[in-house]
Structure 1
Amino acid sequence: MLDVSHDHQVRAALKAHLQPKLGSDDLLVDEFGLAYGAARADLALVNGHLEGFEIKAARDTLTRLPSQVEAYGHVFEMASIVTTRSHLAEVRPLLPKWWGIMLAVPRSHGIDLLVQRQPRSNPRRSAQHLARLLWRDETLAALSVLGLDRGLRSKPKLVLFDALAAAMPVDELADYVRTCLKARGDWRSAKAQSGCDGS
Structure 2
Amino acid sequence: MNDPEIRAMLYPLLQGGVYVDELPTSTTRADVVHITEHYMHGFEVKGDNDTLQRVPKQLPCYANAYDLVTFVVTEKHLEKLLPLVPEWVGVLVATPEGLRPHRAAGYNATVQRGAVAGLLRLTEVKEFLTDLGLYHVGLLRRRDITKLLNTAHSIPLSQLAQFVRTRLMQRMPQRLEARAVRKAERLSRPVRRRKKPKTKRATATKVRVRRAA
TM range (shorter): 0.7 to 0.9
1:43 aligned residue (32, 48, 53): 32
Question: Counterpart of 2:174 in 1: which secondary structure?
Answer: coil
Instruction: Work out the CA distance in 2 between the residues paired with 1:96 and 1:62.
Output: 15
Tell me if structure 1 keeps the 8 A contact 2:114–2:145: no
Q: Give the match's secondary structure for 1:13.
A: helix
Superposition deviation, residue 100 in structure 1: 0.6
User: Is 1:28 the equivalent of 2:19?
Assistant: yes
1:131 aligns with 2:117: yes
Are residue 175 (structure 1) and residue 165 (structure 2) matched?
no
Pair 1:7-2:3 in alignment: yes
Secondary structure of residue in 2 paired with 1:8: helix
Q: Secondary structure of the residue that 1:102 maps to in structure 2?
A: strand
Segment drifting more, 169-178 vs 93-102: 169-178
Counterpart Cα distance in 2 of 1:78 and 1:91: 17
Secondary structure of 2:41's aligned partner: strand
AA at the equivalent of 2:107? S
Larger radius of gyration: 2
- Secondary structure of the corresponding residue to residue 96 of structure 2: strand
TM-score, normalisation: structure 1? 0.80
Amino acid paired to 2:174: D
Provide structure 1 residue ranges, at least 5 long, that are not aligned to the other structure. 190-199
Distance 2:65 2:71 in 1: 16
Pairwise CA distance, 1:186: 2.7
Provide the rounded CA distance (Å) in 1 between the counterparts of 2:54 and 2:162: 29
Q: CA RMSD in A?
A: 1.8
CA contact (8 A) 1:139 1:161 kept: no
CA distance in 2: counterparts of 1:10 and 1:42, whole angstroms = 11
Overall identity of the aligned pairs, in % = 31
* Deviation for aligned residue 1:104: 0.7
Structure 1 residue ranges, 4+ long, deviating more than 6 angstroms after superposition: none
